[in-house]
Structure 1
Amino acid sequence: MHRILLVDDEYLEREVLKMILAKKPDLYQVVGEADNGEDALRFVKSHPVDIVIMDIKMPRMTGLDAARLMKEYSKKIGVILVTAYNDFEFAQHAVKYSVDDYLLKPTRPESIFEALASTIKKISLYSEKTTSPWTQAEDVFMGLCMKGDYMGGKKFLQKVREARFESYEKEREVLKKLLSCLLKMAESFRIEVEKSLKTKVDEQLKGSQTKDQYFDILELIFEEIFEVIIRDKRVDYGEEMTYALQYIEKNLTRTLTLESAASYMNISPHYFSKLFKGQVGENFIDYVTDRKVERAKELIEGTDHPLSAIAFELGFNEANYFSKVFKKKTGMTPSNFRKAVEERRSEEQELLRKSQPLGVKWMI
């Protein structure tokens, strides 16, 4: 039984499709309906769906935009787009964003069933040939955490946050594994995680919240655990300077000085400075500044936080000084960097809005 989501802003269009699919109840089950691309996207992220049959022209989000985002979320979801006219430019976009098939209105039931059969074959082949990259996520993350690799663990969490999973179920499975890793890690290092945080995560995982909401809490637990590990040096890194690098990464958003890092290492600032330059290859101030700028770029690109707030978060007391440092390292001011990011995204969106077909009724 293949689960179908119908997406069309016209109620009668969806009803006709349901009548057609009802002719083969042993093969197809309509599990949901939506009248716009945004609601359709939310549905596939919270319900198991095999194939989406979607009109291209809809309010709030076109079918082409929604198809692109669905395929980014899970390539195992089949997408059949419906358009009112045979437009070469539309076909180019459909292929570009891995749409599995498209139908021209008016269309007949046999054409719909042919498109469904073709799409089922495509997604089944993909499932057979593709192994989930998150199969061993728990082992990888646990390995990083148990080694006390704060930087590695943080980057891993960020990759998972940005990832598009092959299904909603796989996303929840990975999130639960990450939570389990963190709690096992806390127990191993004898660190007491606030019960309120654990309870909140459990509640989120039982509901239908977004991945970002889960991660906000998971990252709180991750930071809480590593706050203790790095502060108390509970991991034997082997290389002495690794302690300093982990300490720097954990404290990028705090007041970070050569003296505070040297104090953490229990050596004099002068000796620490020489040791750091010799082992890392650049002096302490330059290294810290580089890391702060890289973090600033991530925040500018990934959030809508005011630039002044980002500067303050990274320990810059004056926005003007932050701007000068940022420009020296990147060649552009923070505002210009954000503008460039916005322009790039705008251009990408504009490419997706060129197809505007007219609606035509189905033929039964």
Structure 2
Amino acid sequence: MIKILLVDDEYLERDVLRMIIGSRGGEFQVVGEAENGLEAVKFVKEHDVDIVIMDIKMPKMTGLEASRLIKEYNPMIGIIIVSAYNDFEFAQHAIKYSLDDYLLKPSRPEHIFEALESTVGKIRQNKDPGKSGREDMKTAFMTFCRSGDYIRAKKYLRRVKKMHFDSYDEEKEVTKVLLESILTVAEYFGIDVEKNLKMQVQEKLMTSKTREQYFQILEIIFEEVFDVIISEKRVAYKEEMTYALHFIEKHLTDDLTLESAASYMNISTHYFSKLFKSEVGENFIDYVTDKKVERAKELIVDTDLPLNVLAFELGFNEANYFSKVFKKRAGMTPSQYRREAEEKKSEEKNLFRKGNYAANGKWII
């Protein structure tokens, strides 16, 4: 039996959903209701729940924010968001927070059950991904790589790197699948990885004991393969400027200049500058700076790298200059950004401690 929590600040909406779900018999069971995101998070902490059906707009805490906290607390809980707004911005947030499905108000009963059944399938696969789950990962990764999509392939690798697995064997198997995938891609493009990286990979293998270390080998091979794909333009993109965007992403941490990008595109610096602004919508320097700050935010949150080291890795020669650039884009210094991120993580951990309660929108231990 699938246990469901209904979350909506309107009782009538919950009542209708409860009746629709109850019409299916014993397959699904509504085990609780909540009026806002705070109550939903508290309920999930204290009760056994498989799926949360939650409105997006609620007082005290939105459905999206509650979804993020619930997923961080227990990624195995399925979340279906209900929204009256069919817009692109919502879809972006839904993807960001790894939501499983969404419904638009009003929804027909058959659409509700389709969303429930789809979410149940995802939950079961996540609990035991097995061979089919790994094959899906392999297919997605190889699709990005074979199409020469360095940006999406790189983001996919970062996401997998952050995933938590139930066992070391599962971690090892997933890393192995991705490693096999990138080697297959290398063969597809006729890239001799062994010739180019044999000594470097062998040295890493000699000291590799953890998944992190094996993942480094995967990243070394991945970067080498895309060095060739991008530098030799092995893929025919539909839009010419796509070459430049992937080149920028690949060399983001290098001494990247307008001249080097224009040279790669084999056009004059002046013409490339005008073309870039026309097709991308902002000038080259602003685009590169925004990309570096975006990557800096990820590194600040996800790593313990000292900020001066982080600045150097992103191609800034001076930590003070990096701090000024970051503040101009993010509205705060890198150290302030890290402090806020750490405070937020701490608050979220407190949220799930026994005995917490909400007062005036804030959580008190």
TM-score bracket relative to the smaller structure: 0.5 to 0.7
Q: CA deviation at 1:218?
A: 0.8
Unpaired runs of 5+ in structure 1? Answer: 1-67, 76-125, 356-364
Where does residue 303 of structure 1 map in the other structure? 303
Q: CA deviation at 1:172?
A: 3.0
Q: Deviations over 1:39-94 (max 9, x none)?
A: xxxxxxxxxxxxxxxxxxxxxxxxxxxxx99985878xxxxxxxxxxxxxxxxxxx
The answer (yes or no) to whether the contact 1:201–1:218 under 8 Å persists in 2 is: no
1:1-364 correspondence runs (5 A)? 130-132=124-126, 134=133, 135-165=135-165, 168-193=168-193, 194-196=197-199, 209-210=210-211, 212-351=212-351
- Supply the distance in 2 between the matched residues of 1:159 and 1:204 (Cα, whole angstroms): 24
The answer (yes or no) to whether the contact 1:276–1:284 under 8 Å persists in 2 is: yes
Q: CA deviation at 1:326?
A: 0.6
Residues 129 and 271 of structure 1, relative CA distance in 2, 3 Å threshold:
closer
Aligned AA (1:315): G
Aligned AA (1:252): L
- Supply the distance in 1 between the matched residues of 2:312 and 2:338 (Cα, whole angstroms): 17
The answer (yes or no) to whether the contact 2:146–2:185 under 8 Å persists in 1 is: yes
Q: Deviations over 1:224-249 (max 9, x none)?
A: 11111111111111211010000000
Q: Secondary structure at the match of 2:315?
A: coil
The answer (yes or no) to whether the contact 1:204–1:214 under 8 Å persists in 2 is: no
Larger Rg: 1
Q: CA deviation at 1:324?
A: 1.1
Q: CA deviation at 1:179?
A: 0.9
Q: CA deviation at 1:199?
A: 5.2
Q: CA deviation at 1:158?
A: 1.0
- Supply the distance in 2 between the matched residues of 1:182 and 1:202 (Cα, whole angstroms): 17
Aligned AA (2:214): Y
- Supply the distance in 1 between the matched residues of 2:72 and 2:277 (Cα, whole angstroms): 48
Residues 241 and 138 of structure 1, relative CA distance in 2, 3 Å threshold:
same
Tell which has more relative contact order, 1 or 2 (C-alpha 8 A, sep 6+).
1
- Supply the distance in 1 between the matched residues of 2:354 and 2:122 (Cα, whole angstroms): 35
The answer (yes or no) to whether the contact 1:74–1:165 under 8 Å persists in 2 is: no
Q: Deviations over 1:126-160 (max 9, x none)?
A: 89961247341111111110111111110111111
What do you get for the CA RMSD once the two structures are aligned?
3.2
Aligned AA (1:131): Q
The answer (yes or no) to whether the contact 1:74–1:164 under 8 Å persists in 2 is: no
Q: CA deviation at 1:316?
A: 1.3
Q: CA deviation at 1:309?
A: 1.0
Q: CA deviation at 1:289?
A: 0.5
Aligned AA (2:270): H
Q: Secondary structure at the match of 1:131?
A: helix
- Supply the distance in 2 between the matched residues of 1:200 and 1:180 (Cα, whole angstroms): 19
- Supply the distance in 1 between the matched residues of 2:206 and 2:71 (Cα, whole angstroms): 27
The answer (yes or no) to whether the contact 2:293–2:329 under 8 Å persists in 1 is: yes
The answer (yes or no) to whether the contact 2:259–2:269 under 8 Å persists in 1 is: yes
The answer (yes or no) to whether the contact 2:273–2:283 under 8 Å persists in 1 is: yes
Where does residue 12 of structure 1 map in the other structure? none
- Supply the distance in 2 between the matched residues of 1:322 and 1:249 (Cα, whole angstroms): 18
- Supply the distance in 1 between the matched residues of 2:257 and 2:269 (Cα, whole angstroms): 10
Q: Secondary structure at the match of 1:136?
A: helix
Q: CA deviation at 1:311?
A: 1.1
Where does residue 90 of structure 1 map in the other structure? none
- Supply the distance in 2 between the matched residues of 1:306 and 1:243 (Cα, whole angstroms): 33
Aligned AA (1:152): R
Q: Bigger shift: 159-168 or 249-258?
A: 159-168
Q: Deviations over 1:164-212 (max 9, x none)?
A: 346554433322211111111111212122234555787799x6x23x2
The answer (yes or no) to whether the contact 2:204–2:213 under 8 Å persists in 1 is: no
Q: Deviations over 1:225-274 (max 9, x none)?
A: 11111111111112110100000000010011111100010000110011
- Supply the distance in 1 between the matched residues of 2:249 and 2:231 (Cα, whole angstroms): 12
Where does residue 11 of structure 1 map in the other structure? none
Aligned AA (1:294): E
Aligned residues: 238
The answer (yes or no) to whether the contact 2:230–2:246 under 8 Å persists in 1 is: yes
- Supply the distance in 2 between the matched residues of 1:144 and 1:69 (Cα, whole angstroms): 26
Q: Secondary structure at the match of 1:301?
A: helix
Aligned-residue sequence identity (percent) comes to: 57
The answer (yes or no) to whether the contact 1:73–1:166 under 8 Å persists in 2 is: no
- Supply the distance in 2 between the matched residues of 1:283 and 1:348 (Cα, whole angstroms): 38
